[in-house]
Amino acid sequence: MGVRPVGTELRGRTVLLTGGSSGIGAATAEVLARRGCDLLVTGRDEQALNRVAERTGARALVADLCSPEELRRVAERASHAEVLINNAGIGWSGQLEEMPASEVHRLLTVNLAAPVELTRMLLPAMRARGRGHVVLMSSIAAVGVGGEAVYSASKAALRAFAASLRYELSGDGLAVTTVLPGAVRTPFFQRRGLAYERSFPRMLSAETAAERLVRAVERGREESFLPGWLDLAARFQGALPGTFHHLGRRFGQVR
């Protein structure tokens, strides 16, 4: 990967956090507030976002990242951001042929196009300052999950985008961290249309996931699996893809 990125000291840094109104995003906002960050949080739920802002002292910006105009507005408001945490994401569970075209477009826009665009728009200023940190929220579903084909594809593409971006930024003083969570106790599963009912892997709390996300930024981690042992699943897929997918078909969804 070239020069390994160094950790980012967060105290006093200006941070843009998308998807900050609930779940991992809201918990991350609280961790960043304790770190002393100058924080701008975005989300679509105005009431929930304002509650997060009141708890954390963050500035709130209501925005729908599906809208190119609102995406540009977010980038303009966050033009001085030194850390960009692309956390916003949505899911959808079911067979591909049953997924409405509008939902395919919305999911790919929020999960993939929006973070790519925000990163593209904020990178010039980061390069000019000679420092910056981009965080991309992927998922263990990037290895492929039955019943979540489009979601898995979006998260795999985001992981590949992050890996490619590291090559471009090598030696520029900028860092890229990819976060790959497994099951986290948030409203995500209800919103995607299928509750998480497994006893294993056990769900992480949003607070634990947020603390580990922030720690990965501070330590300059290129990839951070939540929990850490999920790294084995990704390595297993890479080493023995046939066996991995055979087990996936036998035991059902990975996530």
Backbone dihedral region of 121: left (phi > 0), alpha (psi from -120 to 50 degrees) or beta?
A: alpha
Q: Which residues pair with 43 in a beta bridge?
A: 62
Q: Are 26 and 240 in contact (CB under 8 A)?
A: no
Torsion of CA 185, 186, 188, 194, to 10 degrees: 50
Q: Are 41 and 49 in contact (CB under 8 A)?
A: yes
Catalytic residue list contains 167: no
Single-letter amino acid, residue 116: V
Q: How many residues does the chain have?
A: 255
- Residue 12: alpha-carbon gap to chain centroid: 22
Q: For residue 111, what is the DSSP state?
A: I
Q: Which of 24, 27, 123, 151 is catalytic?
A: 151
Scan for tokens 């995406």, then name that residue.
71
Cite the active site residues: 151
